[in-house]
Amino acid sequence: MRRLLSSLIFRFVQCEHTMRLLSRAMDEPIGFIQRSAIRLHCFVCPGCARYRGQLPWLRSALRQAQERVNLERVATFSTDEKEKLNQVLRAAGDE
């Protein structure tokens, strides 16, 4: 039982480390040894292999959500902002 528990804890630590490396690899280049460690771990761990496959989709979904939020923020003006915009447009039309 102790051996099984030790094995599970070690695997969890490896998975946690691999997930951090996978996330970091999305943002910056990582070394050959780190890439090799990720490949080896994902070869033997279906959970991390699945996570590796889901990361690009997750990044894309988050970027799309961020773009929508930014577009909604631009599209909604407060009453004061609308009034200032109308004044600027009127002044530009009078010129």
The pTM score is: 0.57
Cα–Cα distance measured from residue 49 to residue 87, given in angstroms and rounded to the nearest whole number: 57
Tally of structural domains, the chain: 1
What is the arithmetic mean of pLDDT over 61-83?
76
Cα–Cα distance measured from residue 60 to residue 85, given in angstroms and rounded to the nearest whole number: 34
Structural domain containing residue 56: 2-94
Specify the range with the lowest mean pLDDT, choosing from 6-10, 63-67, 72-76.
6-10
Q: What percent of the chain has pLDDT over 70?
A: 77
What would the pLDDT profile of 5-21 be if each residue is shown by its tens digit? 556 555 656 888 899 99
- Mean pLDDT score of the chain: 80
Q: Which residue has the tokens 């990720």?
A: 38
Amino acid in the structure at residue 86: N
> How far, rounded to the nearest angstrom, does the alpha carbon of residue 77 sit from its chain's CA centroid?
29
